[in-house]
Structure 1
C-alpha cells in the first residue's frame, strides 16, 4: 500500500466549488460580453493564483513517485527504506514514497524469505499503513534499528509513536490477509523478488542507497528546481572507459552502463575498441585478461557512492592511476588473448567448432530461483536434446555458514551448500541420477523434488520420489556415499573457473548467459551458438504469460 503524502487536492476542490458558485449566482443577471470575459479572466487568475501559491508554500513541484519493494526483515531493504524516507522528507510532500512487500501466498497463508516473524511484521506494517498513513514513515524509522527482533521492536515503536495496539491487532485479524495480498500483487506486477527492488517514476532504480543518493535522484527529476535541492551537491564528474570488442558475443555493456549511470550520475563514458592502439595500450597498462572492462579515473574516490556504500568498494580493484571493476563483478569472461581463450575452453570441456553447443547451468537444489531456471530450461531440453548438451551443475561454497555438519559435507568445510546439508545431499543425489540414468531422468527427478520435498526433509523425502519414477534407490544411495564428494568437488572446481557464485548461473559454450530466464530465452541462446542451427531452432515454445520474469538469485 502507498505511503500517503500531503497534496493540494483540498485546495483545488474548494477553488472549484467557489468558481462554480460565482457562475451560478451571476447567471441570474444580464452582463455584457466584455463583463463576462472579464469575470472569466478574474476567476482563472484567482484559481491559478491559489494553485501557484499552494505550490510555493509546500514546495511540492513537480511530483516524483518512488516505489520500494522489500522484506521487512531484510537488512538491505530496511536500510533502503530508512535512507529513502529521510531523503523524501526533505521535499515536504513532493515525493510520493510507496512501500510494498515481497511475499508468496498460497491461499491465505504467506511465505517470506526470513520466516514467519517476517510475515507477521509484514502484516502489522500493512495495517499501520492502512490505519496511520501519516505515521507509517515514522514507524519504519523507529523500527529499523531493531528490525531483527521484530515483535519487541514493534511494541516499542507503537508505544513511542502512540499507535493503538488493539486497532492494529484487529486490522491484522480482519483485514491483514487482504491488505498483504494487495501489496504482494503490486510486487508481482514488477517481478520484484530481491529486497530492495526500487522504481523511480515507473523506471527501475539501481542507483546508490544513501539519503544523498536518493535525494539527488529526486532532484534530477525536478531539474534541481525544488528548494530542497539547494542543499544537494551535484554529482562528481568521473571519467569511465568501456573497453570492448565488436567480435565479442558476451560484451553487451548496456546493463552495466545503466548501473554506472545510476550509481555515478556524473560519469562521463567513452567506448574504446580493444583492437585500436588506445585499446592495446589499456590492456597493457591495466594488465587486462577479459572483456568487457570498465576503467574509472581517480575521481571515483570523491563520489558520494564510493564514500557511502562500503559494499561497492569490493567490486573494484585499484589499477595504475585509477580503478577498474573486477571481472567477476560484471561477468567479464571473453579472453583478449585467443590462445588463452582456447586453453580455457579446453579446461572447462567446451569444444568449439563441433556444432554441438552445451549449456552448463549451476543451481542449488532448493534455491527457488534455481528451481525456476530448471523449469524453464527443461522445455528447451525437450526441443534440442538430440543436438545440444545439457549439463546440470551445483553451486558449492567453502567455509559456509557454521560449516560441518550443518552446511558442509566434510570436516574441513571444503564442500558446503547455502541452504544446509540436506540441500547438499540432494545436489549429490541429483548428480548421481544424471550420471547413471541420463538427462531425461534428471529433469524428471529434479523437478519432482522441487515440488514434493524441501531443504528440511529432502533426506527422508527423496526415496518415495525416486521410486515413483522407477529410479533405483540403492544405486543412488551407493553413488551418494561413494562418489558424492568427488562429484561436488568437480562442480566446485568448474564453478570456480567460470565464476558461478549464485543460483542460477548459466553458461552457454563457456560464456555467461544473462538473458531472459525463459524457455525461449535459453533456446535462443543455444541456437545462436550453433555453427549451423538445426530446424528445431525454428520452434517457439509455448510459455505461460507473466507480468515479469524473476531475475533474483540465491
Structure 2
C-alpha cells in the first residue's frame, strides 16, 4: 500500500495546465458550453422540474417494477424514485433487496427501513400513520433504521449524529410505547431538522412514557436496540431510505396513504372494513391484473376509478452501445422500456457496426448508449407518459440522453489509467466519494493519474454560486488553492474536510494544520485573486462536459460513473477499464457492509 504521501500526491495538478488540457481533450467532440443559466440546471428552482421529469420517466419514475434510479436524478440532494405527487429516495433504493420476514397470514406484514432525518423516510411514515389508525389491527408494522454500526458503541448515519440519536430515541419509544410511538414519530417529523431535540415534547404531547424512553435513550439499551435494527436493515440489503416490503415483497407503488391502504387491502383480500369503497386504482401501477396487456387507470383515486386493459402496440426498439465502454450498462433502460411497452421488439447493435453508425447519423445522435424507437411508439397507450423524454427525428424517436443517463462519446480519445472526480465540496455524496478515493489511492498509488475538479457557477465577475451556498464556494477556493500550493498534502486536507464537511468554516484551519499546510498562505490564496482565478479555470472542466452532479467520476477520459460509490466499486470500475493495474485482486470497503456510503446518490442533476 502506498505511503500517506503517496495518495496525497495524486491530487496534484496545475489548474491552468492540467485542467485546461482535460477540457481541451473533450472540447472538439463534446457539446459546447451552453449559456450560463442553461449550464447549471442543478440549481434548486422551478427550472429543474423538467429535467427531473425526463430522468424519472426512465428510472422508475412511474413506479413500474424494476431497478430504481441510480444516483444523480436529484430533488435537493437525490432523486426521483417516484410517486404520483411526491418523489425521492436518499440512495439507490431497493435494487437487490430481499425480505427475510415470512408472511404468517392473518395480517399484512409491512416493513419500513429508513433514516430518521431523511425527508423521503419521513414522508412514508407520515403517509402510513392514518392507514395504521384505520386498520392497524390487520397490519404487522415494523420500522428499522439504515446506518453504520462502528462496533464500539458508536454509529454513523448519512445525516450525522443527530440522526443517530433520532434513530435511538424512536426505537426506545417503539419498545416502551408500542401503541403510541407512531404519534411521537409523526410529531417529530413535523420538524425533522430538530430531531432528536423535539422528542421529549412530542412524547409528552402524545402521552408516551417519557422517563422510560429517556432511560433507554441515554443508556446502553438504546445503543443495543439500534445495533439490532441496523443488523435487520443489512440482512435485507436496505441501502436506500425508504426501502419497503409488503408481505416480503418490495413495495414499489405510490407513497400516499390511499396507495398504501389499497396495497394492504389487496394483500388481505379486501377482508377488512377499511377496505370497503377504496377506489380500484390510484395510478397505472395498480392495474396489473392482465400482464399481457397495458393497464390504464381511469379517473385515479376517484370513486369511479377503474382499470382498463388494451393490447400492446408492436414497437421496434434499437439499442446501440459500444462494447469497449466499461460503464455503458443498458439493463435498466431496457428493463423499464419492456415494462412501459410490452409489445416492444428489441434489436441490439454495436457502434462498430456500419448500420449502427448510419442510424445514429440519421437521428443526429453522438452519445451512447442510444435508444431508438420506430414511429409506432407514438401510437402506444403509454406514449403520453414518456413523450417529454423522447426526441422526434424524422420517422423515429429516441430517448433524450439526459433522460436515459447516456453520456459516452465513442469519439473521445481514451487516456488509460486516468480518473477525474467532479464534486461539490459540501455535498454529502461528494464527501463520501472523496473518502472512498482515499482508500483507492492508497491501493493504486502512482499507477493512476487522479484529478479532482469542482462543480459551481462562475458569474464572470469574480464571484461564484454553488448549490450549498457561499460556504461551499469558500471551501472550493481553499481546496483549489491547497492543490496548487501544497500538492503533496492537499488530499489529506480535503479528506479531513470531507469527514465533517458541514463544519468546514470552523475546522479548515485545524485540517490545514493536520495536513502540514501553511494556513495563512492558504487563506491568502483563497481570499485573493489567485484563488478566484484557479477556481474559475477549474470550473471550465465541468461546464464544458455538462457535468452537474456531485460526485461524477470519469474513467480513462471516457467512461462516466455518477453518484457516491464505495471504494471497492470505484476500484472495480478502474480495473475493468484498466485490467493491467496492480492490486485489482484486493477487496476494498464495500458500502453495503461496512460504511454508510449511499451508493449511486448525488447532489444536483
Structure 1-normalised TM-score? 0.63
Cα offset, 1:164, TM superposition: 4.0
Matches within 5 A, 1:518-537: 518-530=566-578, 533-534=579-580, 536-537=581-582
Rg larger in structure? 1
1:247 to 307, 310, 323: 323
Q: Deviations over 1:271-330 (max 9, x none)?
A: 34467999889868976553335677664488xxx7xxxxxx9x9536459997653354
C-alpha change, 1:97 and 1:413, in structure 2 (3 Å) is farther
C-alpha change, 1:380 and 1:460, in structure 2 (3 Å) is closer
**Cα distance in 1, alignment partners of residues 532 and 561 from structure 2:** 28
Q: Deviations over 1:418-472 (max 9, x none)?
A: 2x5444433333333433454x5443343344458842423432331242xxx45
C-alpha change, 1:149 and 1:242, in structure 2 (3 Å) is farther
Matched-pair contact (CA < 8 Å) for 1:316–1:323: no
1:271 aligns with 2:346: yes
Name the SS for the 1:334 alignment partner: coil
1:373 aligns with 2:449: no
* Paired position in structure 2 for 1:495: 542
* Paired position in structure 1 for 2:173: 128
1:210 aligns with 2:256: yes
Cα offset, 1:375, TM superposition: 3.7
**Cα distance in 1, alignment partners of residues 549 and 321 from structure 2:** 27
Matched-pair contact (CA < 8 Å) for 2:117–2:193: yes
> What 5-or-longer segments of structure 2 have no aligned partner?
1-102, 289-293, 296-311
Matched-pair contact (CA < 8 Å) for 1:426–1:458: no
**Cα distance in 2, alignment partners of residues 543 and 60 from structure 1:** 39
**Cα distance in 2, alignment partners of residues 62 and 196 from structure 1:** 25
Matches within 5 A, 1:47-446: 61=105, 65-84=109-128, 96-103=140-147, 121-137=166-182, 140=185, 144=189, 147=192, 162-174=207-219, 175-187=221-233, 194-199=240-245, 208-211=254-257, 214=260, 227=271, 231-232=280-281, 233-235=286-288, 237=295, 243-245=319-321, 247=323, 249=325, 250-256=327-333, 270-273=345-348, 288-293=365-370, 299-300=381-382, 316-317=388-389, 319-320=391-392, 326-335=400-409, 342=411, 345=412, 351-352=413-414, 356-382=416-442, 384-396=444-456, 414-416=464-466, 418=468, 421-438=470-487, 440-446=488-494
Matches within 5 A, 1:414-493: 414-416=464-466, 418=468, 421-438=470-487, 440-450=488-498, 454-467=503-516, 471-473=517-519, 476-480=522-526, 481-493=528-540
**Cα distance in 2, alignment partners of residues 379 and 505 from structure 1:** 17
**Cα distance in 2, alignment partners of residues 269 and 207 from structure 1:** 23
Name the SS for the 2:208 alignment partner: coil
> What 5-or-longer segments of structure 1 have no aligned partner?
1-58, 307-312, 336-340, 346-350, 400-409
Matched-pair contact (CA < 8 Å) for 2:462–2:532: no
* Paired position in structure 1 for 2:96: none
Q: Deviations over 1:163-191 (max 9, x none)?
A: 34444444434543433343344445566
**Cα distance in 2, alignment partners of residues 226 and 278 from structure 1:** 54
Instruction: Give the aligned length.
Output: 450
**Cα distance in 2, alignment partners of residues 325 and 213 from structure 1:** 30
Structure 2-normalised TM-score? 0.58
Asked which structure has the greater RCO (Cα within 8 Å, sep 6+), the reply is: 2
CA RMSD of aligned residues (A): 4.9
Cα offset, 1:205, TM superposition: 5.5
Cα offset, 1:252, TM superposition: 1.0
C-alpha change, 1:137 and 1:473, in structure 2 (3 Å) is closer
